[in-house]
Amino acid sequence: MDNFTFYSPTFFVFGKDTENEAGQYVKQFGGSKVLIHYGGQSAKKSGLLDRVGASLDAAGIPYVSLGGVKPNPRSGLVYEGIDLCRKEGVDFVLAVGGGSVIDSAKAIAAGVQYDGDFWDFYSGKAHIARALPVGTVLTIAAAGSEGSPDSVITKEEGMFKRGTGSNAIRPRFSILNPALTQTLPAYQSAAGITDIMAHLYERYLTNTKEVEVTDRMIEALLLTMKHEGPRVIADPNNYDARANIMWAGMMAHNNSCGVGRSQDWNSHNIEHELSALYDCAHGAGLAVTMPAVFKYVMNHDVMRFAKVAVRVWGCQMDFDHPEVTALEGIEAFRRFLIDLGMPSNFAELGAKEEDIPKLVEVLCHGDGRTGSISGFVELSEEDCTKIYQMMV
């Protein structure tokens, strides 16, 4: 196991009706003027924004609101939020939504306390040293942003989708009410499930030896998703299945199961170009990307793929031909995602074969990269081209 540090200081409030405690926690964590940041109309229509607003009223905390965050959140709204916070003297950003809203809120919180262009944090020009405190009321189990130091934003000029991370933008508190996810369309639930499983696979694919504890924890969370995923697709109102998925989603990405080991993240990087160009759901893009990447890199460590096949997917180990078991596990995962309702190829995703050179160009040369991406395996332009072709 490699040396590491681990820090996850977020206060988690989990369960039914907990959104009504938002005001109390904003107060506890020092907020006196709040920006409520949210996405589309669903948070309004469901009454969630009203309930959160009422809890702020009850705590005596004034607030302003900024909605309109879209999936794959854009830089434009971040600039708008920064201006609004400065104008209104906001000292606490409360994200009410999913990963996109939380990521956008984190970008605003960092940008308000920075003299330069907030994009510097995403292009690698600057590190986030301080930010307004952020809280969250989560409405979809997916990105894990509620418990992570990460944020991913798409710059509208050039459609670069890039991430950053800092302990300064970790949420001070996150409110997780699984019931809020019961109204999600099945496709969004499935995309969230896929994203959570991707966070687990990205950590599972390691070159570090002797990491039994984190291997086992990742497998535990994958097994949870395997069990609970189909249950929420079959019955969207299954609170218990939603709850198990929601906690797994946080644990999958606060990195307690990823410490002390190298990680992959090639699938995320390859997918980011798809959601940036086609504006598809990140999870849907991952469902198409992961099986292709895994098949392409499988021979780098056949035994690792055989292990997850046996321990998670219930495959029988072929001791004479471990590569058969490894491939069976990838196929089982691919079929699982299709059964959840996820796309399995470029066409279903709305992606086009003729765009592959453009995708590879941005992936391997955009924003400071020099012809390849690295992770579990280093992938050249040629490798990335072949992987995208496997997805057609």
- Residues facing 380 on adjacent strands: 372
Compute the distance between CA of residue 205 and CA of residue 323 in angstroms, rounded to an integer.
Answer: 16
Compute the distance between CA of residue 330 and CA of residue 299 in angstroms, rounded to an integer.
Answer: 12
**Beta strands 379-380 and 372-373: pairing type?**
antiparallel
Contacts of 242 (CB under 8 A, 6+ apart): 141, 178, 179, 181, 182, 232
User: Interface with its own copies by CB under 8 A: which residues?
Assistant: 1-16, 18, 178, 209-214, 216-217, 219-221, 223-224, 227-228, 240-241, 243-245, 247-248, 251, 256, 259-260
How buried is residue 353: exposed, middle or buried, by Cβ count under 10 Å (0-12/13-18/19+)?
exposed
Nearer Cβ to its own copies (20/183): 20
Terminal alpha carbon distance of the chain: 38
Q: Judge whether 96 and 38 are in contact, CB under 8 Å.
A: yes
**Residue 242 CB, nearest distance to its own copies (Å)?**
9
**Residue 1 CB, nearest distance to its own copies (Å)?**
4
Closest listed residue to residue 171, CA positions, set 99, 121, 66: 99
**Residue 304 CB, nearest distance to its own copies (Å)?**
16
Write down the H helix ranges in 115-260. 186-204, 212-234, 239-253
**Running DSSP on this structure, what letter comes out for residue 180?**
G
Nearer Cβ to its own copies (175/373): 175
**Residue 47 CB, nearest distance to its own copies (Å)?**
20
Nearer Cβ to its own copies (48/217): 217
Residue 137 has phi, psi (to 5 degrees) of -120, 105
Q: Judge whether 162 and 1 are in contact, CB under 8 Å.
A: no
**Residue 274 CB, nearest distance to its own copies (Å)?**
29
Nearer Cβ to its own copies (261/272): 261
Nearer Cβ to its own copies (2/378): 2
Half-sphere exposure of residue 207, counting CA atoms within 13 Å on the CB side? 11
**Running DSSP on this structure, what letter comes out for residue 74?**
B
**Residue 219 CB, nearest distance to its own copies (Å)?**
6
Compute the distance between CA of residue 280 and CA of residue 283 in angstroms, rounded to an integer.
Answer: 8
Please give the helix or strand (H or E) that residue 270 lies within, else none.
helix 266-278
Nearer Cβ to its own copies (97/249): 249
Nearer Cβ to its own copies (223/324): 223
Compute the distance between CA of residue 69 and CA of residue 279 in angstroms, rounded to an integer.
Answer: 13
Nearer Cβ to its own copies (216/358): 216
**Residue 318 CB, nearest distance to its own copies (Å)?**
20
**Residue 159 CB, nearest distance to its own copies (Å)?**
36
Compute the distance between CA of residue 120 and CA of residue 123 in angstroms, rounded to an integer.
Answer: 5
Nearer Cβ to its own copies (126/220): 220
**Residue 391 CB, nearest distance to its own copies (Å)?**
31
